């Protein structure tokens, strides 16, 4: 028996160490049922030669319980390309599964809920990109990786929040121009523009998690928790980043907290981010606020059982994007 939970020896083995990482988020009453699911999924992975790529915004039971690789969009995309597993289960939103398929076209890529979309990704289409290029001929199109395969197929190169400035400057140099189109995140584009001399043409896409944070939120946190360090995601408005102590991708936030171990920290991003890091650095006190992503939360332990289902048919467009866009995707 584990901590009096009455778990079987098999479940204890499959969930070893997980309870200690998620006990700050999962109640003792909830744990036995979650432990059974975690054990079942981990067994199914071995049977199907599958790996689970879990984004930083997954709930702790997924992140610490069944995720084989955890991280941000860029890190998971790289793991998709590296993995020798035949099946990739994307514990994230739809565009992430598309990216994994682009990078690993020979593998079966599954997503537990096909409805797990993204407000930012849905803000722009491939047709929109063609119109932008027609309006600004000769300018390179740099596209944030948080977009659909349809949009990536029309772009010149992809970037992440971690390398957007470097990619924009590289594109300007390669094209011999002083202006670059950066789509679709409006706030990421503005924040990049503040860090480079390259002029930026932006699109009005926004993340429903990050657009809701305000500089007033930061000011209130400063008053309530004067010693807390505040870390913000680049998809937030410019005044939020200006009022924060550090701005960076979710991977950069994780590195910051795990290396510096501040006494108190505020993560201006999705709620599960703090919960997941807390499992690895329990001595750090994480303070709100946070905003929840309804799309990320569509992925659950229950629907992750889909890895036991027959592989779905993958639309032919993935191969098209790989052929047209392989250099851009590999450079993200």
Domains identified in the chain and CATH numbers: 9-117+297-308 (3.40.50.10800), 121-206 (3.40.50.10800), 215-292 (3.40.50.10800)
Residues 14 and 263: their CA atoms lie apart, in Å, by: 33
Q: Angle of helix 271-278 relative to helix 250-260, nearest 10 degrees?
A: 40
Quick check: 284 and 259 in contact, CB under 8 A? no
Residue 77: which of 96, 52, 56, 50 has the closest Cα?
Answer: 96
Q: Which residues have CB under 8 Å from 135's CB, separation 6+? A: none
pLDDT along the chain (332 residues), means of 10: 75 93 94 96 93 97 97 85 92 92 89 94 97 98 93 92 92 98 97 97 97 96 96 96 95 95 97 95 92 96 76 48 45 45
Residues 231 and 250: their CA atoms lie apart, in Å, by: 10
The tokens describing 47, both together, are: 């049977």
The CA dihedral of 251, 256, 257, 262, to the nearest 10 degrees, is -160
Residues 2 and 29: their CA atoms lie apart, in Å, by: 13
Dmax of the chain from CA atoms? 67
What size, in residues, is the chain?
Answer: 332
Residue 126: count other Cβ atoms within 10 Å of its Cβ. Answer: 17
**How many CA atoms lie less than 13 Å away from 84 in the CB half-sphere?**
1
The CA-based angle 201-202-205, given to 5 degrees, is 165
The tokens describing 179, both together, are: 């202006």
Residue 130: count other Cβ atoms within 10 Å of its Cβ. Answer: 12
Residues 215 and 237: their CA atoms lie apart, in Å, by: 8
Q: Which residues have CB under 8 Å from 162's CB, separation 6+? A: 72, 74, 248, 249, 251, 252
Name all contacts of 23-26 with Cβ < 8 Å and 24+ positions apart.
Answer: 24/275, 24/278, 24/279, 24/282, 25/59, 25/60, 25/61, 25/275, 25/278, 26/60, 26/61
């Amino acid at each position: 028996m584990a901590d009096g939970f009455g778990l079987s020896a098999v479940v204890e083995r499959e969930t070893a160490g997980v309870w200690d990482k998620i006990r700050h988020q999962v109640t003792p009453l909830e744990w036995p049922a979650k432990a059974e699911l975690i054990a079942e999924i981990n067994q199914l992975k071995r049977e199907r030669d599958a790996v689970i790529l879990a984004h930083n915004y997954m709930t702790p039971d997924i992140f610490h319980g069944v995720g084989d690789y955890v991280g941000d969009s860029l890190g998971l995309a790289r793991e998709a390309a590296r993995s020798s597993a035949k099946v990739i289960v994307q514990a994230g939103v739809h565009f992430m599964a598309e990216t994994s398929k682009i990078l690993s076209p020979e593998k079966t890529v599954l997503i537990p809920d096909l409805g797990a979309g993204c407000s930012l990704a849905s803000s722009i289409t491939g047709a929109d990109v063609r119109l932008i290029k027609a309006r600004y001929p000769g300018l390179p199109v740099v596209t944030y990786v948080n977009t659909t395969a349809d949009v990536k197929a029309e772009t010149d190169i992809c970037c992440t929040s971690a390398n957007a400035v470097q990619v924009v400057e590289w594109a300007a140099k390669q094209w011999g121009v002083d202006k670059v189109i950066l789509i679709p995140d409006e706030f990421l584009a503005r924040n990049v523009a503040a860090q480079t001399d390259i002029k930026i043409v932006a699109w009005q896409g926004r993340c429903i998690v990050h657009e809701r944070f305000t500089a007033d939120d930061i000011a209130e946190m400063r008053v309530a928790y004067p010693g807390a360090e505040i870390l913000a995601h680049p998809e937030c408005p410019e005044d939020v980043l200006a009022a924060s102590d550090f701005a960076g991708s979710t991977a950069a936030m994780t590195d910051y907290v795990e290396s510096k171990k501040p006494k108190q920290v505020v993560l201006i991003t999705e709620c599960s981010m703090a919960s997941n890091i807390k499992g690895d650095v329990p001595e750090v006190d994480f303070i709100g606020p946070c905003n929840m992503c309804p799309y990320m939360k569509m992925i659950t332990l229950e629907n992750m059982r889909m890895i036991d289902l027959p592989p779905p048919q993958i639309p032919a467009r993935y191969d098209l994007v790989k052929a047209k866009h392989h250099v851009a995707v590999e450079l993200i």
